[in-house]
Amino acid sequence: MPNFLGAVLTGGRSTRMGEDKTTVEVAGRPMSSWVTTALDSTMPDTNRLIVLGRTPLGEIPNLEDRPGEGPLSGLAALADLPENLGPIPDAVLLLAVDQPWVRPETLRALLNRYAGLAVVPIDDGVRQVTCAVYPWSFIDAAAEGAAGGQGLQALLDEMEIDGIESEWAKWGEDGRSWFSVDTPADVTEGLRRFGAP
């Protein structure tokens, strides 16, 4: 069984939300709590989580983003993973903090599918890059891409990946795991579509 690290991106500026997304409540809990709970329950054996971005989440170790564009700058921060956080993982399960409806069942399915390539769901032709598994070998390319101003989608254009176009529906997934809450209206829409996380 590969050794996985769970990582939560918190580096966005939350400009459309108007406040720090990590503290925005959905169904009585901060979005960040829904995400970290889902990750925690997915990897109970290793229980290794890290936060990537400007906003720490409680006692979970935190690495600040590297300069760059969007989620790639967070992923690139893993190049600075300190030795005291344990052995280098085989792969990273990456989530954004604004995906409170993420399903542990979907995360487990992504991990179970991992065989050395990035595992990325594709919904309506769009790669869901912040609900995906990335091999550790990807991190150096992420750091180089971030330094060069590249985005994560553009970097994936250059990589061989395991893209999941429709099989995720067989997992009981309906797109809620990568439903992104960028505005207050998205909270309302998510609750309307999916109910409480």
Check residue 46 and give its pLDDT: 61
Check residue 106 and give its pLDDT: 98
Q: Which domain holds residue 105?
A: 4-194
Residues (pLDDT < 50) of the chain are 15, 18
Q: Where residue 183 sits, what CATH number does that domain have? A: 3.90.550.10
What is the per-residue burial (b if ≥16 Cβ within 10 Å, else e) of 150-187? bbbeebbeeeebeebeeebeebebebbbbbbbeeeebb
Cα gap 30→173, rounded to integer Å: 22
Check residue 56 and give its pLDDT: 84
Cα gap 178→95, rounded to integer Å: 9
Check residue 6 and give its pLDDT: 95
Number of structural domains (the chain) is: 1
